Amino acid sequence: MNNHVCFDVIGWAGAIALLVAYAMVSSRKLEGNSNVFQFLNISGSLLLAANTIFYGSYPSTFVNLIWAGIAIFSIAARKRVAP
């Protein structure tokens, strides 16, 4: 498999992860502060970031890395508060 196909698959997997996360929260199957939701956000945004770095789309890379950072911060903040 050539690099373009590989990074296209990576990008599509990331997009699907983010869409599944959004759909699950919107349909109330997941809570917006659940670990599953946050891990879907982290994995989806990192996969999309890999795709956008490969294609040189740096504004999208920036957004996806910030998206992952927000999810990581959310998980870390909840762990600090958890009894």
Burial label for 20, CB within 10 Å (0-12, 13-18, 19+), is middle
Looking at the structure of the chain, the number of domains it has is: 1
User: Can you give the pLDDT at residue 63?
Assistant: 97
* CA distance to 8, 18, 28, 55, per residue, from 73 (Å): 28, 17, 22, 27
> For the chain, how far is it from start to end, CA to CA, in angstroms?
48
| Domain extent for 55 | 3-81
pLDDT tens digit sequence for 21-78: 999 999 999 999 899 999 999 999 999 999 999 999 999 999 999 999 999 999 999 8
Residue pair 70/77 in contact (Cβ under 8 Å)? The answer is no
